[in-house]
């Protein structure tokens, strides 16, 4: 990207992509001493043209590249794409398949939130403990995923028409066991990290995003809910089995980095609740309707919205009489939140030392924003 | 002619060497030959006279202590943090203990290329890590390990001298950050400047309170004054402030602000590579060592402790090292428990909390002194 | 008071972790056991394969090709593990179930050309002991016994 | 039905600047606008009909009909309805006024549409490449006639 002209009185720092905390992006910071005057996000280092790739793949084959958009949260992304396909092709999904989908979406959400939570700890310099604890605890979820789908990272388990396979034997008991274990572990996180005096000093009152600003700038997901606005696509535009499931939309009134961290923490609790419900109350029945691998669609235009761990993902799909979509527009949540991050320097005073904390509070995933 | 006299003669004659005088050349040749022949005896005499200082330089407060501590501390920290993180830490080098990993890493750092960025002041840049790691080690020669095991016993100057030498250390990162010609190094260097000034003032006030209580600036006398009770008990405030100060001075979490890895890539150490980086890592541990020893000397009774097996000197050294080890474990544990503070919070802590409390501590000590309790 | 609690409580939470055991699997000597559905390297059953080419058509990564095998009339799939994403479409869509997954994940090699597996190589699955000679234990998964050190489940 | 009433209100208020409007699916309405008065329509959508939350924007290329449809997505946080506000542009040399004045967050997305479809946004504050490298010479990737040539210069 071409850089705007540097003002002579301010130092411009290129923060990333080789920076230890930046991820695959570059952020230009205009700093005066420690104070950040302006943030310029330079995205696109991981642009792979997924929207173009999807135009050249059949509906089933497209699931694999699109799941690579967010590796920690593959099921939610795949869920959005598959539900768009189902709407375009008018495929009915059996009830049990919907419940299994919800279960996988929630497990995926916990997985992603745990990662974000650990990175938040690392961004404040709390490297030793919490990041590795979350990594260990994510292994529980990965083991459950492996038991169910056979893969540990990208599952392509949700297919048009249902899900790939039913629960293996004794899987419900393992789910309950995993949920109980994670519940026990989260007490440690709360006491060691969220209630930690130094962590509170770092995160309280930092980067305040007022509710009206959050709406105006198009924030989504935990960033929006951390500003106290109860918007959640799972409630607003229900998909899968969410109408039948009992869960709350988490909001925090404080609007700062701590509020976003707490939203993630408490959303994990809600997801665990959903996991427990699915393990106990899942209805019996078929798990998929037969769909041909090379299914052809009719001309249609559909829009599917799902709540991923980072916010609302919109898939706007145009189809015509062909085995592949005509055009897929992906409204990715990270791109929306990155704009909020860029504007945060104008809304609140941010110091150089706060940049990693603030950027991890919006939980960026640059593969998602760059697509 | 004594050996020293001979040496003096050689030295005196060598100035006149430019004169081409045949007799002089023969004389000089003879002197050199006799010097070489007498070298073992000269060395023996030197050793006899200087046996104790030499042991001290090489062994206890000196080179071996510094190096062994750095090796063990690096290894211990890695293993300890790994346990807190539910990992196993270094594993394969050295039969699962991972002790040899430290040597392997040192060897790796030694072999690596020293990258010299463009437009930098290389001599300045390269000198700083070496100085940063040796200056605090020089401050350590003042620490009494026993009443007759002090390398540089300068009487009532020792406490001010320690602060004078150790107080130089923060200057060097500033130079290093400037010399590296990197924005991150530059910010890191200025963080060092801010942080040390805010931390050093309460430290000096606390040390002054200790000196008043002991009635002397002599570290030995301070230690002897603590035979009945450690100064940590009457001066609990000073104890807590100095403890925080030790962590700040040795740049450890939660005060590792100048090298904050996730904010500034590695602060003032960003551009160092190879063995120079090794020296900067070493400097962290040497600083840590010097300030912790000082902390024990001032507040935790120094080398005082019950005499074991009738060996006074050995048990005194043992007690000092035991206290040192316990503090090291505690400070490393703090690293697993707390995130890093921001610079402004740190400055608030230093100027608004620690400095007034240190003055309060000083007033308290003066009151005790006036009332005649001490 | 609450500040003091917030300073001291993390110590009490974190300190016991030091006494716990690590959760790391020391890989070449220990190796986790994977579940039945695990998607590892494929195994091809040549006798069942009818050379329909379904696997090559469904592959989203174009890593399956049908190649001739010396001594056989038909063509059989050859899998290029440089591009394979282990999505499992080939296994699911195989009409005769001649392609199946195993739990072998040790692909490491010094030459990337050897990552292209011919039908003959796909046929036989090497013993785990031959691939990882230092392997001493197969370990159970976390979920079964998380807080303790992995029990060594069965010796290889 | 909230989206029906919203749609009726929109049709009534802006009958002259709307080509067509329909409910695409539950909680999603689609408005195809004319080029004239597009910014005013968007402004009114934001202030009168409550579509205050910008989501994204993007285009669809129709080489057969020689047009590119530019789509703006905006959400209504009150009624939880998504608006897709569309406008048709000619395929060669598409130009349109920017909507960053209405929804500031369209900044990133319009830059993306600029490089992906070649749509010029008049009055955009920072019209520089976004996802593609600055020295990209390969054309506009999301147009249907892009075949991947010139990708590596």
The domain that contains A363 carries what CATH number? 1.10.645.10
Does residue D129 lie in a domain region?
no
Residues B39 and B131 both lie in one domain: no
Burial D69-97 (b: 16+ CB within 10 A, else e): bbbbbbbbbebbbbbbbbbbbebeebebb
Q: How many domains does chain D have?
A: 1
Does residue D128 lie in a domain region?
no
Across the interface, do C15 and B333 touch by the CB < 8 Å criterion? yes
Domain that holds residue A311: 11-370
- The residues that bridge with C101 in the sheet, in sequence order, are C42
Q: At what angle do helices B183-214 and B355-371 cross, to 10 degrees?
A: 10
* pLDDT digits 0-9 by tens, A113-165: 888 888 888 888 776 678 888 888 888 888 888 888 888 888 888 888 888 88
Q: What is the mean pLDDT of residues A218-236?
A: 86
User: H or E stretch including B298?
Assistant: helix B274-299
Does residue A6 lie in a domain region?
no
Place B223 in a pLDDT band, splitting at 50, 70 and 90.
confident
C41 C-beta neighbours (distance < 10 Å), count: 20
Chain B positions in Cβ-Cβ contact with residue A192 (cut-off 8 Å)? 337
How many CB pairs below 8 A link B and C? 37
* pLDDT digits 0-9 by tens, A324-354: 888 888 888 888 888 888 888 888 888 888 8
Residues B7 and B128 both lie in one domain: no
Tokens of D150: 């010139």
User: Residue D151 pLDDT > 60, yes or no?
Assistant: no
DSSP codes joined into one string, A129-161 = THHHHHHHHHHHHHHHHHHHHS-SS----EETT
CATH classification at residue D62: 3.30.460.80
What is the rounded CA–CA span in Å between residue B221 and residue B212? 11
A247 C-beta neighbours (distance < 10 Å), count: 18
Across the interface, do C10 and B337 touch by the CB < 8 Å criterion? yes
Tokens of C102: 């195993």
Give me the long-range contacts of D34-39 (CB less than 8 A, separation at least 24). D34/D87, D35/D87, D35/D88, D35/D89, D35/D96, D38/D87, D38/D96, D38/D97, D39/D97, D39/D99, D39/D101, D39/D102
B365, B299 in Cβ contact below 8 A? Answer: no
Mean residue pLDDT of chain A comes to 85
Residue whose entry in the numeric block shows the structure tokens 């005790």: B368
Domain that holds residue B37: 3-49
pLDDT confidence of residue B16: 54
Q: How many domains does chain B have?
A: 2
pLDDT confidence of residue B1: 45
Across the interface, do B253 and A125 touch by the CB < 8 Å criterion? yes
Q: How many CA atoms lie within 13 A of B165 on its CB side?
A: 21
What are the domain boundaries of chain C? 22-155
Q: How many CA atoms lie within 13 A of B81 on its CB side?
A: 22
The answer to whether residue C10 neighbours chain B at the CB level (below 8 Å) is: yes
Q: How far A38 CA lies from chain B's nearest CA (Å)?
A: 16
The answer to whether residue C15 neighbours chain B at the CB level (below 8 Å) is: yes
The answer to whether residue D32 neighbours chain A at the CB level (below 8 Å) is: no
Chain A positions in Cβ-Cβ contact with residue B257 (cut-off 8 Å)? 353
- Look at residue D142 and give its three-state secondary structure: coil
Tell me which of C4, C14, C86 to substitute to probe the interface with A (most A C-beta atoms closer than 10 Å): C14
Does residue D19 lie in a domain region?
yes
The answer to whether residue C20 neighbours chain B at the CB level (below 8 Å) is: yes
Q: Kindly identify which residue of chain C lies nearest to residue A152, measuring between CA atoms.
A: C38
- Look at residue C45 and give its three-state secondary structure: coil
Tell me which of A1, A315, A343 to substitute to probe the interface with D (most D C-beta atoms closer than 10 Å): A1
Mean residue pLDDT of chain D comes to 83
What is the rounded CA–CA span in Å between residue D13 and residue D10? 5
The answer to whether residue B83 neighbours chain A at the CB level (below 8 Å) is: no
Task: Name the residue facing D73 among A236, A237, A314 (closest C-beta).
Answer: A314
Chain B positions in Cβ-Cβ contact with residue C20 (cut-off 8 Å)? 83, 86
Tokens of A33: 């001493």
In a 10 Å sphere around its CB, with 0-12 CB exposed, 13-18 middle and 19+ buried, how is residue B72 labelled? middle
B185, B270 in Cβ contact below 8 A? Answer: yes
Tokens of B333: 């544990």
Q: What is the mean pLDDT of residues B126-130?
A: 85
Across the interface, do B340 and A126 touch by the CB < 8 Å criterion? yes
Does residue B91 lie in a domain region?
no
Task: Name the residue facing C14 among A129, A139, A150 (closest C-beta).
Answer: A129
Place D36 in a pLDDT band, splitting at 50, 70 and 90.
confident
What is the rounded CA–CA span in Å between residue D19 and residue A22? 46
Surface of B (11-40) touching A: CB under 8 A: none
pLDDT confidence of residue C154: 47
Q: In sequence order, which residues have a C-beta less than 8 Å from that of residue B102 and are 6 or more positions away?
A: B71, B74, B75, B90
Q: In sequence order, which residues have a C-beta less than 8 Å from that of residue B199 and are 6 or more positions away?
A: B245, B248, B249, B255, B350, B354
Across the interface, do B84 and C17 touch by the CB < 8 Å criterion? yes
Does residue A123 lie in a domain region?
yes
Q: Closest Cα to residue B214, out of B145, B312, B139, B304? A: B304
Q: Kindly identify which residue of chain B lies nearest to residue C12, measuring between CA atoms.
A: B337
The answer to whether residue C89 neighbours chain A at the CB level (below 8 Å) is: yes
Q: Closest Cα to residue A19, out of B5, B270, D152? A: B270
Asked whether at least 3 C-beta pairs link B and D within 8 Å, the reply is no
Does residue B300 lie in a domain region?
yes
Surface of A (185-244) touching B: CB under 8 A: 192, 196-199, 201-202
pLDDT confidence of residue C151: 46
Tell me which of C53, C89, C150 to substitute to probe the interface with A (most A C-beta atoms closer than 10 Å): C89
Task: Name the residue facing D108 among A318, A326, A335 (closest C-beta).
Answer: A335
Work out the angle at residue A253's Cα, subtended by the Cα atoms of residues A251 and A254, and round it to the nearest 5 degrees.
125
Q: How many domains does chain A have?
A: 1
The answer to whether residue C25 neighbours chain A at the CB level (below 8 Å) is: no
- Look at residue D76 and give its three-state secondary structure: strand
B55 C-beta neighbours (distance < 10 Å), count: 14
Length of chain D counted residue by residue: 153
Instruction: Give all chains having 3 or more CB-to-CB distances under 8 Å with chain A.
Output: B, C, D
Length of chain C counted residue by residue: 156
What is the rounded CA–CA span in Å between residue A183 and residue A274? 13
Across the interface, do D25 and A87 touch by the CB < 8 Å criterion? yes
Does residue B138 lie in a domain region?
yes
A300-314, B43-57, C134-148: segment of lowest average pLDDT: C134-148
Does residue D74 lie in a domain region?
yes
Does residue D116 lie in a domain region?
yes
Across the interface, do D82 and A371 touch by the CB < 8 Å criterion? no
* pLDDT digits 0-9 by tens, A45-80: 888 888 888 888 888 888 888 888 888 888 888 888
Length of chain B counted residue by residue: 374
Domain C22-155 grouped into CATH 3.30.1780.10: no
What is the rounded CA–CA span in Å between residue A134 and residue A129? 9
In angstroms, what CA-CA distances link A89 with A298, A302, B26, D29, D47? Answer: 7, 10, 110, 20, 36
- Count the helix, strand and coil residues of chain D and give each as a percent rounded to the nearest 5: 20, 35, 45
Across the interface, do B86 and C15 touch by the CB < 8 Å criterion? no
Residue whose entry in the numeric block shows the structure tokens 């979509």: A325
Sheet holding C152-155, edge to edge: C30-32, C137-139, C152-155
Tell me which of B80, B82, B84, B254 to substitute to probe the interface with C (most C C-beta atoms closer than 10 Å): B84
Q: In sequence order, which residues have a C-beta less than 8 Å from that of residue B16 and are 6 or more positions away?
A: B24
Chain A positions in Cβ-Cβ contact with residue B253 (cut-off 8 Å)? 125
A264-268, B196-200, B236-240, D17-21: segment of lowest average pLDDT: D17-21
A283-287, B338-342, C18-22, D3-7: segment of lowest average pLDDT: C18-22
Chain D positions in Cβ-Cβ contact with residue A301 (cut-off 8 Å)? 24
The answer to whether residue D134 neighbours chain A at the CB level (below 8 Å) is: yes
B78-92, C133-147, D81-95: segment of lowest average pLDDT: C133-147
A333, A312 in Cβ contact below 8 A? Answer: yes
Across the interface, do C26 and B84 touch by the CB < 8 Å criterion? no
C114, A112 in Cβ contact below 8 A? Answer: no
Place B5 in a pLDDT band, splitting at 50, 70 and 90.
low
The answer to whether residue A192 neighbours chain C at the CB level (below 8 Å) is: yes
Write down the pTM of the prediction. 0.86
What is the rounded CA–CA span in Å between residue A94 and residue B366? 82
Tell me which of C22, C23, C27, C30 to substitute to probe the interface with B (most B C-beta atoms closer than 10 Å): C22
Gyration radius of chain A over CA positions: 21
Q: Closest Cα to residue C14, out of A193, B240, A118, A201? A: A193
Does residue D132 lie in a domain region?
no
Does residue A1 lie in a domain region?
no
Asked whether at least 3 C-beta pairs link C and A within 8 Å, the reply is yes
Does residue B332 lie in a domain region?
yes
Across the interface, do C60 and A148 touch by the CB < 8 Å criterion? no
Q: Which one of A277-286, B58-67, B220-229, C27-36 scores highest in mean pLDDT?
A: A277-286
Does residue D32 lie in a domain region?
yes
Backbone angles phi, psi at B273, to 5 degrees: -140, 165
Tokens of D24: 């695409």
Across the interface, do C146 and A150 touch by the CB < 8 Å criterion? no
Across the interface, do C11 and B87 touch by the CB < 8 Å criterion? no
Backbone angles phi, psi at A22, to 5 degrees: -80, -25
Across the interface, do C14 and B88 touch by the CB < 8 Å criterion? no
Tokens of D98: 């920017």
Does residue B66 lie in a domain region?
no
Q: pLDDT truncated to tens, each residue of chain C (156 aa)?
A: 788 888 888 888 888 887 877 777 777 877 777 888 888 888 888 888 888 888 888 888 888 888 888 887 888 888 888 888 888 888 888 888 888 888 888 888 888 888 888 888 888 888 877 888 777 777 766 655 554 444 444 445
């Amino acid at each position: 990207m071409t850089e705007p002209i540097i003002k002579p009185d301010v130092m411009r720092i290129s923060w990333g992509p080789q920076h230890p905390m930046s991820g695959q992006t570059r952020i230009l910071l205009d700093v005066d001493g420690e104070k950040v005057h302006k943030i310029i996000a330079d995205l696109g280092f991981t642009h792979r043209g997924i929207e173009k790739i999807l135009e050249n793949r059949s509906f089933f084959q497209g699931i694999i590249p699109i799941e690579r958009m967010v590796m920690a949260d593959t099921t939610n992304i795949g869920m959005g794409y598959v539900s768009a396909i189902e709407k375009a092709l008018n495929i009915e999904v059996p009830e049990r398949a919907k419940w299994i989908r919800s279960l996988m979406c929630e497990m995926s959400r916990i997985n992603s939130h745990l990662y974000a939570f650990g990175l938040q700890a690392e961004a404040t310099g709390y490297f030793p403990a919490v990041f590795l604890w979350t990594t260990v605890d994510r292994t529980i979820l990965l083991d459950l995923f492996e038991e169910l789908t056979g893969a540990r990272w990208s599952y392509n388990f949700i297919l048009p028409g249902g899900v790939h396979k039913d629960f293996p034997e004794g899987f419900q008991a393992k789910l309950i066991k995993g949920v109980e274990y994670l519940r026990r572990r989260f007490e440690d996180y709360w006491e060691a990290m969220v209630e930690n005096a130094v962590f509170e000093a770092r995160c309280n009152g930092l980067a305040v995003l007022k509710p009206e600003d959050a709406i105006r700038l198009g924030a989504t997901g935990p960033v929006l809910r951390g500003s106290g606005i109860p918007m959640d696509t799972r409630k607003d535009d229900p998909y899968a089995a969410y109408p039948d499931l009992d869960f709350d939309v988490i909001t925090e009134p404080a609007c700062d980095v701590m509020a976003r961290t707490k939203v993630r923490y408490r959303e994990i609790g809600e997801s665990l609740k959903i996991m427990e419900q699915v393990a106990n109350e899942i209805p019996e029945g078929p798990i998929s309707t037969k769909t041909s691998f090379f299914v052809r669609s009719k001309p249609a235009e559909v829009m599917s919205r799902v709540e991923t761990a980072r916010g609302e993902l919109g898939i706007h799909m145009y189809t015509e009489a062909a085995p592949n979509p005509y055009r897929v527009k992906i409204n990715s949540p990270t791109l929306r939140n990155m704009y909020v991050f860029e504007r945060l320097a104008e809304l609140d005073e941010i110091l150089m030392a706060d940049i990693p904390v603030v950027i991890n509070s919006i939980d960026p995933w640059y593969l998602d924003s760059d697509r | 002619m004594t050996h020293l006299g001979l040496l003096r003669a050689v030295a005196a004659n060598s100035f006149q060497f430019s004169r081409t005088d045949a007799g002089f050349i023969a004389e000089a040749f003879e002197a050199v030959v006799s010097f070489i022949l007498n070298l073992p005896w000269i060395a023996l005499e030197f050793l006899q006279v200087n046996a104790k200082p030499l042991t001290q330089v090489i062994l206890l407060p000196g080179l071996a202590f510094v190096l062994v501590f750095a090796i063990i501390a690096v290894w211990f920290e890695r293993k300890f943090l790994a346990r807190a993180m539910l990992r196993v830490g270094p594993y394969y080098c050295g039969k699962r203990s991972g002790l040899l990993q430290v040597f392997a890493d040192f060897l790796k750092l030694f072999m690596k290329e020293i990258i010299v960025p463009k437009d930098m002041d290389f001599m300045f840049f390269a000198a700083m890590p070496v100085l940063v790691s040796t200056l605090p080690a020089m401050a350590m020669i003042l620490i009494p390990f026993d009443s007759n095991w002090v390398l540089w016993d300068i009487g009532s100057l020792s406490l001010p001298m320690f602060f004078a030498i150790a107080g130089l250390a923060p200057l060097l990162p500033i130079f290093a950050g400037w010399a590296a010609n990197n924005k991150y190094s530059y910010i890191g260097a200025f963080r060092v400047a801010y942080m040390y000034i805010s931390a050093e003032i309460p430290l000096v006030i606390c040390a002054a309170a200790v000196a008043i209580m002991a009635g002397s600036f002599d570290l030995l006398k301070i230690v002897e004054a603590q035979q009945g009770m450690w100064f940590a008990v009457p001066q609990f405030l000073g104890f807590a402030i100095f403890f925080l100060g030790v962590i700040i001075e040795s740049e450890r979490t939660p005060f590792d602000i100048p090298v904050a890895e996730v904010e500034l890539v590695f602060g003032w150490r960003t551009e160092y590579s190879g063995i120079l980086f090794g020296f900067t890592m070493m400097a962290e541990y040497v600083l840590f060592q010097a300030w912790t020893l000082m902390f024990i000397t001032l507040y935790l009774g120094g080398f005082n402790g019950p005499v074991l097996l009738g060996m006074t000197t050995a048990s005194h050294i043992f007690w000092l090292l035991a206290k040192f080890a316990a503090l090291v474990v505690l400070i490393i544990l703090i690293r697993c428990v707390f995130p890093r503070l921001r610079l402004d919070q740190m400055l608030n802590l230093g100027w608004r909390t620690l400095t007034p409390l240190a003055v309060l501590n000083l007033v308290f000590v003066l009151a005790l002194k006036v009332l005649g309790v001490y | 008071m609450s500040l003091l609690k917030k300073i001291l409580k993390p110590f009490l939470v974190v300190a016991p972790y030091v006494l716990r055991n690590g959760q790391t699997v020391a890989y070449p000597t220990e190796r986790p056991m994977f579940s039945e559905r695990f998607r590892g390297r494929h195994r091809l059953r040549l006798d069942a394969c009818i050379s329909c080419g379904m696997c090559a058509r469904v592959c989203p990564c174009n890593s399956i090709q049908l190649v001739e095998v010396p001594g056989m009339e038909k063509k059989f799939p050859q899998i290029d593990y440089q591009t394979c994403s282990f999505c499992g479409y080939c296994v699911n869509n195989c009409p005769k179930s001649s392609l199946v997954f195993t739990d072998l994940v040790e692909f490491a090699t010094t030459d990337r050309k050897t990552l292209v597996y011919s039908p003959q190589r796909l046929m036989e699955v090497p013993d785990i002991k031959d691939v990882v000679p230092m392997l001493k234990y197969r370990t159970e998964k976390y979920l079964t016994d998380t807080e303790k050190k992995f029990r060594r489940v069965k010796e290889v | 039905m909230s989206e029906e009433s919203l749609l009726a209100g929109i049709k009534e208020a802006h009958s002259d600047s709307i080509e067509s409007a329909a409910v695409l699916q539950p909680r999603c309405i689609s408005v195809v606008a004319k080029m004239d008065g597009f910014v005013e329509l968007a402004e009114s959508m934001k202030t009168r009909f409550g579509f205050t939350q910008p989501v994204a924007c993007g285009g669809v290329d129709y080489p057969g009909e020689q047009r590119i449809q530019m789509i703006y997505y905006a959400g209504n946080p009150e009624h939880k309805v998504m608006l897709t506000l569309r406008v048709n542009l000619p395929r060669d040399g598409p130009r349109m006024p920017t909507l960053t004045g209405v929804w500031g967050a369209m900044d990133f997305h319009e830059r993306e549409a600029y490089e992906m479809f070649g749509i010029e946004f008049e009055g955009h504050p920072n019209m520089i490449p976004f996802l593609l490298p600055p020295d990209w010479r390969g054309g506009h990737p999301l147009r249907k006639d892009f075949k991947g040539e010139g990708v590596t210069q």
